[in-house]
Amino acid sequence: MSTLFDQLGGQQGIEQIVDDFYKRIMADNTLNHFFANTDLDKQRRHQAALFSQIFDGPNQYTGRQMEKVHTGMNLQQQHFDAIAKHLGESLAQRGVSSEDTNAALARVSSLKDAILNK
Protein backbone atom coordinates (compact mmCIF):
# COMPACT_ATOMS: atom_id res chain seq x y z
CA MET A 1 0.00 0.00 0.00
CA SER A 2 1.39 3.41 -0.87
CA THR A 3 1.94 5.99 1.83
CA LEU A 4 0.80 9.59 1.82
CA PHE A 5 4.46 10.44 1.12
CA ASP A 6 4.26 8.33 -2.08
CA GLN A 7 0.92 9.86 -3.06
CA LEU A 8 2.45 13.34 -2.80
CA GLY A 9 5.23 12.40 -5.23
CA GLY A 10 7.95 11.19 -2.86
CA GLN A 11 10.89 13.40 -1.97
CA GLN A 12 10.75 15.40 -5.20
CA GLY A 13 7.02 16.00 -4.82
CA ILE A 14 7.42 17.10 -1.21
CA GLU A 15 10.20 19.53 -2.18
CA GLN A 16 8.04 21.04 -4.94
CA ILE A 17 5.10 21.38 -2.55
CA VAL A 18 7.34 23.06 0.04
CA ASP A 19 8.76 25.50 -2.54
CA ASP A 20 5.27 26.54 -3.62
CA PHE A 21 4.12 26.66 0.02
CA TYR A 22 6.84 29.15 0.99
CA LYS A 23 6.16 31.31 -2.08
CA ARG A 24 2.58 31.60 -0.83
CA ILE A 25 3.66 32.29 2.76
CA MET A 26 6.14 34.96 1.74
CA ALA A 27 3.45 36.69 -0.35
CA ASP A 28 1.10 36.76 2.70
CA ASN A 29 1.56 39.89 4.79
CA THR A 30 -0.09 38.22 7.79
CA LEU A 31 2.67 35.57 7.84
CA ASN A 32 5.83 36.73 6.08
CA HIS A 33 7.09 38.78 9.04
CA PHE A 34 7.54 35.52 10.99
CA PHE A 35 10.22 34.58 8.42
CA ALA A 36 11.89 37.99 8.08
CA ASN A 37 15.17 36.79 9.61
CA THR A 38 14.97 33.18 8.45
CA ASP A 39 17.37 31.36 6.14
CA LEU A 40 14.66 30.16 3.75
CA ASP A 41 16.80 27.50 2.07
CA LYS A 42 17.44 25.91 5.46
CA GLN A 43 13.79 26.44 6.43
CA ARG A 44 12.58 24.68 3.26
CA ARG A 45 14.92 21.73 3.93
CA HIS A 46 13.60 21.41 7.50
CA GLN A 47 9.99 21.70 6.29
CA ALA A 48 10.49 19.04 3.60
CA ALA A 49 12.07 16.71 6.18
CA LEU A 50 9.21 17.31 8.62
CA PHE A 51 6.57 16.70 5.94
CA SER A 52 8.40 13.55 4.87
CA GLN A 53 8.25 12.27 8.44
CA ILE A 54 4.61 13.15 9.19
CA PHE A 55 3.44 11.88 5.78
CA ASP A 56 4.95 8.39 6.38
CA GLY A 57 8.10 8.92 4.32
CA PRO A 58 11.71 8.65 5.47
CA ASN A 59 12.28 10.02 8.96
CA GLN A 60 15.00 12.56 8.28
CA TYR A 61 13.78 15.46 10.42
CA THR A 62 16.54 16.56 12.78
CA GLY A 63 15.15 19.96 13.73
CA ARG A 64 13.93 21.04 17.13
CA GLN A 65 10.57 19.97 18.53
CA MET A 66 7.58 21.98 17.32
CA GLU A 67 7.03 23.51 20.77
CA LYS A 68 10.62 24.82 20.91
CA VAL A 69 10.69 26.07 17.32
CA HIS A 70 7.57 28.19 17.78
CA THR A 71 8.05 29.43 21.38
CA GLY A 72 7.76 33.17 21.73
CA MET A 73 6.33 33.70 18.25
CA ASN A 74 2.84 34.42 19.61
CA LEU A 75 1.24 32.40 16.82
CA GLN A 76 -2.55 32.45 16.88
CA GLN A 77 -5.29 30.31 15.36
CA GLN A 78 -5.61 32.66 12.38
CA HIS A 79 -1.91 32.17 11.57
CA PHE A 80 -2.30 28.40 11.72
CA ASP A 81 -5.41 28.59 9.54
CA ALA A 82 -3.57 30.73 6.96
CA ILE A 83 -0.66 28.26 6.87
CA ALA A 84 -3.09 25.36 6.41
CA LYS A 85 -4.85 27.24 3.59
CA HIS A 86 -1.54 27.85 1.82
CA LEU A 87 -0.55 24.21 2.21
CA GLY A 88 -3.91 23.11 0.80
CA GLU A 89 -3.40 25.41 -2.19
CA SER A 90 0.15 24.09 -2.72
CA LEU A 91 -1.14 20.51 -2.68
CA ALA A 92 -3.91 21.41 -5.15
CA GLN A 93 -1.36 23.14 -7.41
CA ARG A 94 0.58 19.86 -7.46
CA GLY A 95 -2.58 17.99 -8.47
CA VAL A 96 -2.97 16.12 -5.18
CA SER A 97 -6.42 14.56 -4.73
CA SER A 98 -8.80 16.15 -2.23
CA GLU A 99 -8.67 12.91 -0.22
CA ASP A 100 -4.87 13.05 0.07
CA THR A 101 -4.97 16.81 0.70
CA ASN A 102 -7.40 16.28 3.58
CA ALA A 103 -5.20 13.51 4.98
CA ALA A 104 -2.12 15.75 4.78
CA LEU A 105 -3.90 18.67 6.44
CA ALA A 106 -5.16 16.35 9.19
CA ARG A 107 -1.55 15.31 9.92
CA VAL A 108 -0.49 18.94 10.10
CA SER A 109 -3.48 19.81 12.30
CA SER A 110 -2.41 17.14 14.77
CA LEU A 111 0.65 19.35 15.46
CA LYS A 112 -1.43 22.50 15.99
CA ASP A 113 -1.31 22.56 19.80
CA ALA A 114 2.46 22.15 19.75
CA ILE A 115 2.86 24.84 17.11
CA LEU A 116 0.57 27.30 18.92
CA ASN A 117 2.10 26.40 22.30
CA LYS A 118 -1.33 25.61 23.77
Bind-site residues for heme: 46, 70
Binding positions are 46, 70
SS (H, E, C) 55-105: CCCCCCCCCCCHHHHHCCCCCCHHHHHHHHHHHHHHHHHCCCCHHHHHHHH
